[in-house]
Structure 1
Amino acid sequence: MPDDVRSQPRVPPRWFVRTAWWVHRGLYRVTGGRFGLRRPRGHRWGMLRLTTTGRRTGREHSVIVAYIENGDDLVTLAMNGWAQGDPAWWLNLKAHPEATVDLVHESRPVRAHAAQDAERDQLWTAWRAYDHELDAYAGLRTTETAVVVLSPWEQPTHL
């Protein structure tokens, strides 16, 4: 077997990935949020619930995504299960960067942006500590995977 075939990471079939996402969100809902979220610890990334505003519908949409912490910022990857294209939640954030994240014991408003240049390089390197096969998985995609920074955001108050 050629080396390049053996070095390819194994990704489950798309139907399996989508089913796992569906089950995860369902368990979160059924348990009232007691199951499904975790803080990053050691070399394990955390999981947060991200609620965005739909770019076409204007309705709220929630998804659970992996994240790491970088100071007060939360950092996730717009990887779409390592499939082609951007995930819907990232397309929503590009249209409406203000969102809400639910963590284990808190909820907070955030504003999203894609890390660029040196910031992206630094955060991608930080992610490698949590996923040693990150570059191999990213290599499955024909487009660069966005590194999404979710920064604390104070909603403006109207007088």
Structure 2
Amino acid sequence: MNRLMARRIRRKGAVMGFNALVLTTVGRKSGAERTTPVGWFPGPDGSYLIVASAAGAPGNPAWYLNLAANPDKIRIDVEGRTVAVTAEQLHGPEREQAWRQITSAAPRFASYQEKTDRELPVIRLTPQA
């Protein structure tokens, strides 16, 4: 299913009513590349905001763990191009501002938060120079 979604995202740039990108991380244990389609929201200065929601599951998705282990070995396919990015998890007021923006644009993320006790991580992906 992920491959099918990734192909569609690479062609159209959107899925299920919101912007999507294909996230490629390096496995924290295997060292192998892993691709996952995720929704994104515009961040400051050309960055991309993503949420490790796992649709409100009790644990973080595997891609989040890979991203946290290798934050500078990430690339995204977005808007018809491939971009090397660096990941940074947001905290405090910066996260709150991004979270308000995300839940305003896509209220389903607020319902994901209600399903779980963990605070859903908000990640900023910044293009590498």
Q: How many residues align?
A: 126
5+ residue gaps, structure 1, are 1-21, 155-159
CA shift, 1:113, in A, is 1.1
Distance across 2 between alignment mates of 1:28 and 1:113: 23
Q: Deviations over 1:17-39 (max 9, x none)?
A: xxxxx2x522544x79325x339
Aligned to 1:75: 49
- Match runs of 1:9-158 below 5 Å: 22=1, 24-29=2-7, 33-35=10-12, 37-38=13-14, 45-71=18-44, 72-98=46-72, 99-154=74-129
Which structure is richer in relative contact order (CA contacts within 8 A, separation 6 or more)? Answer: 2
Distance across 1 between alignment mates of 2:10 and 2:93: 36
Q: Higher helix proportion, which one?
A: 2
Q: CA RMSD in A?
A: 2.1
CA shift, 1:151, in A, is 0.8
Divergent runs of 4+, >3 A: none
5+ residue gaps, structure 2, are none
Q: Higher strand proportion, which one?
A: 2
Aligned pair in 2 of structure 1 residues 128, 32: CA closer, same or farther (>3 Å)?
Answer: closer
SS at match of 2:14: coil
CA shift, 1:153, in A, is 1.3
TM-score (norm 1): 0.72
Amino acid at match of 1:45: F
Amino acid at match of 2:51: L
